[in-house]
Amino acid sequence: MTSRVVQYRRFGGPEVLEVTEREDPEPGEGQVRLRVRAAAVNPLDWKLRSGAMARGDAPAEPKVPGFDVAGVVDAVGDGVVDLAVGDEVVGKATGGAYGETALAAAKALTRKPAEVSWEVAASVPTGATTAARALALLGLGEGDHTGTTLVVDGASGGVGVYAVQFAVARGVTVIGTASETHQDDVRALGATPVVYGEGVADRIREVAPQGVDRAFDTSGKGALRDLVALTGSPDKAVTIADYAGAQELGVTFTSGGDADTERAVLADALARVADGRLRTPAVVTYPLDQAGKAQDDNQYGRVSGKLVLLP
Ligand SMILES: NC(=O)c1ccc[n+]([C@@H]2O[C@H](COP(=O)([O-])OP(=O)(O)OC[C@H]3O[C@@H](n4cnc5c(N)ncnc54)[C@H](OP(=O)(O)O)[C@@H]3O)[C@@H](O)[C@H]2O)c1
């Protein structure tokens, strides 16, 4: 069987993405093949496509973008015991998610609750798992952290919305930065909103006379020095998006987590989404052949929310 997939053979702008027909990939040891129902667009997808994170003009072989995926298992590789053909699952793909089919390690998938739509399910993995990992690094993992004040820079984004909600649920007082447009959204998540940009540190001090204990830079837009100044120590801040700033200031940069932990976090987040305890960003859907537009809309902040491809 063949199926459609988005791929790029050279690095560059959205124009390097092409929709092509390929032979369905066979799942290897520990993998399953999914019939993809929804695949989310994340900033990492267009960063990798641009070549900014690689050497040379082209990847060694054609690349299919995307990680976050929701779909139906349609083939099972050797050694997979906990998933079967027909299972509806969510998680992270291996070798790309922007297609009608995708491969994934079984241990990178969890079951999709029936109450959660395909597009919402696909929108959750990276945001929820990254937020949980960063909070744990900040000493704000599961448990009661009443009395702690946290700043989330980029509180309206794909990672920020989960960081705010996880922290609020643990008793943390959260101050979240966002554009003017998203101040009410951040407030609705349980945080005190503050507009980002020039003067943000003063605005944060105004709403946090008690001081700031921890800071999470999800945006990577240059606020890290201010965040360190607000908390008083680089040990009390974490970034997922400012690698150079982290090196310079001695702040922890985190990327990628342990598969078992991520699967547990994702399953828990989906259960909370299913019963309404956890809000997800608004989802905007695109057909597969609009993958380049979806990536551009995300990169340039033209469309708010989580952008999801429906093959
Ligand atoms: N290291 C990792 O493991 C990891 C994992 C996931 C993501 N990331 C990275 O983290 C970043 C955010 O990812 P995401 O999925 O949350 O992106 P996203 O959904 O596109 O959200 C971006 C957020 O940044 C905010 N923002 C824009 N300009 C800002 C500024 N000058 N100051 C503060 N905030 C600003 C936006 O707010 P408005 O919409 O209100 O303008 C929005 O909340 C990306 O660079 C991504 O590559 C890293």
pLDDT of residue 108: 97
Q: Decide whether any atom of ligand 1 lies within 6 Å of the 137 Cβ.
A: no
In tens, the pLDDT along 274-293 reads 999 999 999 999 999 999 99
Nearest ligand 1 atom to the CA of 304 is 39
Q: Decide whether any atom of ligand 1 lies within 6 Å of the 165 Cβ.
A: no
Q: Residues 244-262: what's their mean pLDDT?
A: 96
C-alpha atoms less than 13 angstroms from C-alpha of 300 in its C-beta half-sphere: 8
In tens, the pLDDT along 78-120 reads 999 999 999 999 999 999 999 999 999 999 999 999 999 999 9
Residues 8, 56: Cα–Cα separation, whole Å: 14
- For ligand 1, atom 42, name the residue with the nearest CA: 157
Distance 235 CA to ligand 1 centre (A): 21
Residues 285, 283: Cα–Cα separation, whole Å: 6
pLDDT surpasses 90 at 154:
yes
Residues 64, 48: Cα–Cα separation, whole Å: 10
Tokens representing 16? 């390097």
Question: 219, 230, 239, 299: which to mutate for ligand 1, most atoms within 8 A of CB?
Answer: 219
Decide: 32 and 109 in contact? Cβ < 8 Å: yes
Report helix, strand or coil for 238. Answer: strand
C-alpha atoms less than 13 angstroms from C-alpha of 182 in its C-beta half-sphere: 23
pLDDT of residue 40: 98
In tens, the pLDDT along 167-203 reads 999 999 999 999 999 999 999 999 999 999 999 999 9
Distance 306 CA to ligand 1 centre (A): 11
Name which of 58, 40, 39 is nearest 49 in CA terms: 58
Distance 158 CA to ligand 1 centre (A): 7
Q: Cα angle at 128 between 7 and 254, to 5 degrees?
A: 80
Distance 220 CA to ligand 1 centre (A): 7
The model's confidence at residue 256, banded by pLDDT at 50, 70 and 90, is confident
Decide: 67 and 57 in contact? Cβ < 8 Å: no
β-strand partners of 8: 63
Q: Decide whether any atom of ligand 1 lies within 6 Å of the 262 Cβ.
A: no
pLDDT of residue 266: 98
β-strand partners of 150: 174, 214
In tens, the pLDDT along 65-84 reads 999 999 999 999 999 999 99
CATH number belonging to the domain at 127-253, selected among 3.40.50.1100, 3.40.720.10, 3.40.640.10, 3.40.50.720: 3.40.50.720
- The domain limits of the chain are 2-124+280-310, 127-253
CB-based contacts of 166, cutoff 8 Å, min separation 6: 131, 132, 135
Q: Decide whether any atom of ligand 1 lies within 6 Å of the 153 Cβ.
A: yes
Q: Decide whether any atom of ligand 1 lies within 6 Å of the 151 Cβ.
A: no
Tokens representing 254? 């985190």
Distance 218 CA to ligand 1 centre (A): 5
**Percent of the chain having pLDDT more than 70?**
100
Q: Decide whether any atom of ligand 1 lies within 6 Å of the 66 Cβ.
A: no
What would the CATH number be for the domain defined by 2-124+280-310? 3.90.180.10
Q: Decide whether any atom of ligand 1 lies within 6 Å of the 183 Cβ.
A: no
Name which of 303, 260, 270, 256 is nearest 162 in CA terms: 270
Q: What is the mean pLDDT of the chain?
A: 97
Nearest ligand 1 atom to the CA of 253 is 1
77 CB-contact burial (10 Å; exposed 0-12 / middle 13-18 / buried 19+) = middle
237-239: strand order across its sheet: 192-195, 173-178, 149-153, 214-217, 237-239, 252-253
